Amino acid sequence: MFLRRIEILNERSMKKILVFLLLNWCISLLIGFSQTSPQLSDLQKKILEKAYRFEKAGWIYLHVEGTASEIGFQHGYLLSKEITQGIIDSKINWNHISAMEWTWLTDKAYSLFYNKIDPENLAELQGITDGLIASGVETSLSEIICYNSWIELSSYWYPLELKKMAVLKVPSARESCSAFIATGSMTSDGGIVMGHNTMANYHEVFCNVVIDILPARGHRILMQTVPGWIHSGTDFFVTDAGLVGCETTIGDFEGFDESGIPEFSRMRRATQDASNIEEWCSIMKLGNNGGYANAWLIGDINTNEIARLELGLKFIGFETTKDGYYTGSNVAESLQILRFETTTDETNITDMAIARRVRWKQLMTQNAGKISLELGKKFEAEHFDTYRNKVQPGGRGLCCHGELEKDNCGWPSSPYYPAGTMDGKVIDSKMAKNMSFSARWGSACGMPFDAKKFLSGHPQYDWMKEVLHDRPSQNWTIFKTGEKP
């Protein structure tokens, strides 16, 4: 009898505990809902009325307009889900490559860059922060600055910090992207044709945003970007000044000046403020800190002039023409940058950057006078391996597939590393006049990537399971300013 009473008491107690837990869970849900869905003010609602987003062929199209703070707020609020995921991915990647806390990096980013960012860019970064907070995301201006400076912090500033600490294992600056720009007798109609594909680690943040920026001051911009970035980062853009541009990273580069202006801030100012090639390049050179050292390919459809600006830290390369071409494959063309600021051996064709450099020269020679949008798409999607002298999807094609490469070809350095081409974009003078370009999300060749299937076959990369995402095959599609769903 005594035991039975105990059982009954236990049953009653359990019921009370369950009711208590259920009530607490309901309260937590209500509190969580109020935290993640705060009420917008009338002013915030009015700001958001001018902006919108929709999805198309794997891309997110985002239209923003107004002052810098309004543009930032619209961006942060409408892409809050994607920005949150991007920051989560960055945190995981940072911890893996550094074994350091994310908060340590955000504090460093703030102290390094806050006082070097111009007021307009700073207002937009604060706007993104405010938009995220208004959508229920817990973040800070320090974190958004860190997130925007991810490339130059992780690949340029941090390696030098490790050397100061006498750390033996120091990562080198990233190598990525294939690009070309041609004009005059090189193209089918005499106008400018430009193409670019982004190469990156598949576990890094997604760059599948096409943003249409209509600022209260400066030029309208249509560019590819990452959710939450005020710059492009990939880079590919067109402005209503008639400028088109893209870049490829200068590989094996070392150098960073902490007193300089961050690259992400200079790129945005140049793209929004410049009316011609000379102005664009002048803004990029002013306060150059060596971070995210790139070879920029720039064109002006008003004059048919194209240029290549190579920004090292101590040295600068600059060329311009109205009849010819420039290409980018992560090899510095400036001998001073090549010899004094990189460790690249430009004759080692086993290296993917050198193999692609050779292939660009072959393609430009073979297709002189015929280069067009359609040929540009084919270039960016090509799998020809100049080292093996045959078509073979892998690490050395203009369309790179590190996940299929068993050899060490420079970047990525590990066999079957999930890195390579993330997209394809092309534009010509006619499209640029209409503020439009053609783009393909996923691999430029259309080959899909299945993250789960990849990890099941390559368990050495299990640490990526939370940050490695699928990229199904998508079609080429056209984007333009003012586009509606």
> What pLDDT digit, counting tens, does each position of 31-72 carry?
343 344 579 999 999 999 999 999 999 999 999 999 999 999
Q: What is the C-alpha separation between 265 and 230, in angstroms, rounded? A: 8
Q: What is the C-alpha separation between 249 and 174, in angstroms, rounded? A: 7
- What tokens appear for 127 in the block? 């706007």
Q: What was the pLDDT predicted at 36? A: 47
Q: Does 29 have pLDDT greater than 50? A: no
Confidence of residue 174 (pLDDT cuts 50, 70, 90): low
The residue that leads in pLDDT, 166 or 303, is: 303
Q: Does 159 have pLDDT greater than 60? A: yes
> What pLDDT digit, counting tens, does each position of 262-321 carry?
999 999 999 999 999 999 999 999 999 999 999 999 999 999 999 999 999 999 999 999
Q: What is the C-alpha separation between 257 and 314, in angstroms, rounded? A: 10
Percentage of the chain beyond pLDDT 70 is 91
Query: What pTM was computed for the model?
Result: 0.91
What CATH topology corresponds to 50-485?
Penicillin V Acylase; Chain A (3.60.60)
- Residue 97 in contact with residue 207, Cβ under 8 Å? no
Neighbours of 320 (CB within 10 A): 16
Q: Does 17 have pLDDT greater than 50? A: no
Overall average pLDDT of the 325-354 stretch: 97
Output the average pLDDT for the chain.
Answer: 92
Q: What was the pLDDT predicted at 168? A: 60
Q: Does 16 have pLDDT greater than 70? A: no
